[in-house]
Amino acid sequence: MIKGIDKAKILIESLPYIKKFYKKTVVIKYGGHAMVDEELKSSFALDIILMKYIGINPIIVHGGGPQINKFLDKMNIKSNYIQGMRVTDGETMDVVEMVLVGKVNKEIVSLINLHGGKAVGLSGRDGDLVKAKQMKVLKNQVKDAPPELIDLGRVGEVTEINPDVLITLDKENFIPVIAPVGVGRDGQAFNINADFVAGAIAAKLRAEKLILLTDVKGILDQEEKLITSMTRENADRLIESRIIAGGMIPKIKCCLDAVQQGVKKAHIIDGRVEHATLLEMFTKEGVGTEIVQ
């Protein structure tokens, strides 16, 4: 009986959050260890299904870098990286799209459906959901030399989000699962960072939350302690002092841009924690760092 009462108290404590997020859109970037560990995969699927059943509209955008690397290795296609981005020629893009859309996306959809949800897989090319152009990257400049562009091939950046297909799926109570492949003006596919696709979709839909699942606790200060909440001013200061560095910088910028464009809050959370999404949504403490205006 005591255990039953404790469970009832937990449900009551989550009631204010359920009311707050009812009928609201939450965009979740799914990646990292949460996509590999079997228990975490199941807990993520159950989190998403629960959110849908209590009236929240979850939209998932997934990554798939490790899976792409495995396929490229099997096909003896060497991966080259410039400034942390994979150089993507036509052959590599075919593999990227095959793995992200044909394998990873369908596995996530199947997992959600297996646990009782109603998910549909998409890529950014479906319904012109994610329009893109080639990303322009400047070479590290030498003093007094003119800027030089680096050709990354089919690495893209988002130019426009067409949300019609997402609105239709929401009306029919489907959960969209989106592979981060965009479409250019000529119909060509572009490989896009999943964080930025998630941020762009969240901004377009004026989502209540943007949540990025990562393999870290969140943003840490100089003493390696978790920063639970931060603003643009805080972020700029930490980037300038190099406390935030490397791959965390684009994640922070993605969150800041989304918040600036109308998303209520963005979160970088620890996807290694079981039911991390629910803990962030329905508890006061959360499991990561929130980014606010």
Predicted local distance difference test score (pLDDT) of residue 40: 94
CATH number at residue 180: 3.40.1160.10
Taking CA atoms, 283 is separated from 9, 15, 17, 51, 287, in Å, by: 13, 10, 8, 14, 9
Q: Identify whether 3 is part of a domain.
A: no
State percent of the chain over pLDDT 70: 95
Measured between alpha carbons, how far is 154 from 93 in angstroms, rounded to an integer?
7
Map tokens 């479906």 to a residue.
126
CB neighbour class for 282 (10 Å; exposed up to 12, middle 13-18, buried from 19): buried
b vs e for 149-160, b when ≥16 Cβ sit within 10 Å of the residue's Cβ? eeebbbbbbbee
Measured between alpha carbons, how far is 153 from 173 in angstroms, rounded to an integer?
37
Q: Identify whether 125 is part of a domain.
A: yes
Inform me whether the pLDDT recorded for 147 exceeds 70. Answer: no
What digits encode the pLDDT tens for the residues 30-58? 998 889 889 999 999 999 999 999 999 99
Predicted local distance difference test score (pLDDT) of residue 61: 98
| Structural domains in the chain (count) | 1
Q: Identify whether 145 is part of a domain.
A: yes
Predicted local distance difference test score (pLDDT) of residue 278: 93
As a whole number of Å, the CA-based R_g of the chain is 19
Paired tokens of 277: 């999404």
User: Cα 225 to chain center, whole Å?
Assistant: 24
Mean pLDDT of 148-173: 90
First and final C-alpha spacing in the chain: 44
What digits encode the pLDDT tens for the residues 59-108? 999 999 889 989 999 988 887 877 777 888 888 999 999 999 999 999 99
Mean pLDDT, rounded, of the chain:
90
Predicted local distance difference test score (pLDDT) of residue 22: 95
What is the three-class DSSP state of 153?
Answer: strand
- Of the two residues 108 and 239, the one the predictor is more confident about is 108
State percent of the chain over pLDDT 90: 65
- Residue 178's domain comprises 22-214+266-276
Inform me whether the pLDDT recorded for 201 exceeds 60. Answer: yes
DSSP designation for 139: P
pLDDT band (50, 70, 90) for residue 244: confident
Paired tokens of 101: 């859309």
Q: Identify whether 247 is part of a domain.
A: no
Q: Identify whether 184 is part of a domain.
A: yes
Q: Identify whether 178 is part of a domain.
A: yes
Q: Identify whether 7 is part of a domain.
A: no
H/E stretch holding 121: strand 119-123
* Out of 5-9, 126-130, 247-251, least confident range: 5-9
Measured between alpha carbons, how far is 280 from 28 in angstroms, rounded to an integer?
12
Predicted local distance difference test score (pLDDT) of residue 150: 74
